[in-house]
A and B are shown apart, each in its own frame.
Chain A
Amino acid sequence: ETGVTQTPRHLVMGMTNKKSLKCEQHLGHNAMYWYKQSAKKPLELMFVYSLEERVENNSVPSRFSPECPNSSHLFLHLHTLQPEDSALYLCASSQLYTGGGSYNEQFFGPGTRLTVL
């Protein structure tokens, strides 16, 4: 196990539903990330939180709303999604977000497989 857990592991929702994805890290890290993984595409960075402050929002539609209540927990709130939002959503954490010349390894959770009907 990587020390990063995600729930639920699978989620099926209709376009009008509201649901939330949860991520928890047990590594004492200060940065947390949401990625979207679609078939045959590179991992797409969605959001980054560093010390509970959002520092990256890569042009993600407003139907995805992140929340980071503390350095150990990260949520992704979903509402009025589209079928093209179906994908594997990965959470990751790292010690820090800034590099300072060295790489802060990102540890990934197992992901939530989301299907939008």
Chain B
Amino acid sequence: GENVEQHPSTLSVQEGDSAVIKCTYSDSASNYFPWYKQELGKGPQLIIDIRSNVGEKKDQRIAVTLNKTAKHFSLHITETQPEDSAVYFCAAINSGGYQKVTFGTGTKLQVIP
């Protein structure tokens, strides 16, 4: 089955700096890679995603890159703000047939004002 590894487990950055979270996956059949943000007391919420036929996707201050050959993908947050503090999860999915979502172990991001 699919295995997703996520690093680092914790990340502290100064407000305004950039943050990068990296994930690797094992199943070459995975073709969809969402990122979820989980704030304290809330469930995970989808913030950005990327399909396997795309190398990079941006949405304002967040971007995701995908290297299919190396089987790794990354989340980039620029100009970090205190409200970016949360736990971020990557996931890998094979969207054909019944969908199996394999999540990473999460990265706790702390943005220091």
Contact = CB atoms under 8 A, between A and B. Distances in A.
B105 A42 contact: yes
A111 interface: yes
Given A41-B105, A110-B41, A101 B95 contact: yes
B99 A108 contact: no
Give the secondary structure class of B's interface: strand
Contact of B101 (A2, A4, A106): A106
Contacts of B105: 40-42
A11 interface: no
Give the secondary structure class of A's interface: loop
Contacts of A105: 34, 46
A18 B104 CA distance: 32
A106 B101 CA distance: 10
B99 A43 contact: no
B89 A103 contact: no
B102 A42 contact: yes
Contacts, number: 62
Interface in B35-88: 36, 41-46, 49
Nearest to B6: A42
Interface residues of B, number: 27
A102 B45 contact: no
A43 B101 CA distance: 9
28 contacts: A2-B43, A40-B9, A40-B105, A40-B106, A42-B4, A42-B102, A43-B89, A45-B100, A45-B101, A55-B98, A56-B98, A90-B43, A92-B43, A98-B99, A99-B93, A99-B95, A99-B99, A101-B95, A103-B32, A103-B34, A103-B49, A103-B95, A103-B99, A105-B34, A106-B101, A108-B43, A110-B42, A111-B43
Given A42-B104, A100-B96, A102-B95, 12 more contacts: A42-B102, A43-B89, A45-B100, A45-B101, A55-B98, A98-B97, A98-B98, A99-B94, A101-B96, A103-B99, A106-B101, A110-B43
